[in-house]
Amino acid sequence: MKATDRFFVEGVTCTRDASERMPVANLSVGGLFAATSTPPLKGQLVALDLSLAGRAPLRLMGKVTWVNDPARPKAAHLPQGFGFKITEIAFPDKLAILDFLKRLGPNAARTRET
């Protein structure tokens, strides 16, 4: 599994600054796409708490790599939101994401960068 292999997920959320709960549209060991009507700015460094079923939230530090604006969508198949590249994560948390992704069915996998 590559860090850029994206998996479309359901029931996974993340929060920023303990406020808005954002659905995660896709997830990889290297990043995620979060759906929100109030995305942070491209290039902004943010901390996210990722919630996977059956686990305590995982703390992720990273950078907003792109924003999907409904007026000018970069990815029409995704909702309004932002792409997030993980730059700092505890090793056990990275293993938890990897384990979660491995348990998904093959139909969830998509090797497309989004």
Predicted TM-score of the model (pTM): 0.85
Nearest to 37 by CA among 84, 71, 87: 71
- pLDDT for res 109: 54
Query: Looking at residue 19, which CATH number applies to its domain?
Result: 2.40.10.220
Nearest to 17 by CA among 31, 42, 36, 43: 36
* Domain annotation covers residue 112: no
CA 86, CA 61: separation in Å to the nearest integer?
Answer: 6
Provide the residue range defining the domain that includes 89.
Answer: 6-101
Taking only the tens place, the pLDDT of each residue in 48-99 is 999 998 889 999 999 999 999 988 888 888 899 999 999 999 999 999 999 9
Number of domains in the chain: 1
Nearest to 113 by CA among 52, 47, 34, 33: 33
Which tokens in the block code for residue 6? 């994206």
* Domain annotation covers residue 114: no
* Domain annotation covers residue 91: yes
Specify the DSSP class assigned to residue 30: S
Taking only the tens place, the pLDDT of each residue in 9-47 is 788 999 998 788 999 999 999 999 999 999 999 999 999
* Domain annotation covers residue 26: yes
Residue 114 confidence (pLDDT) above 50: no
Q: Average of pLDDT values for 101-106?
A: 77
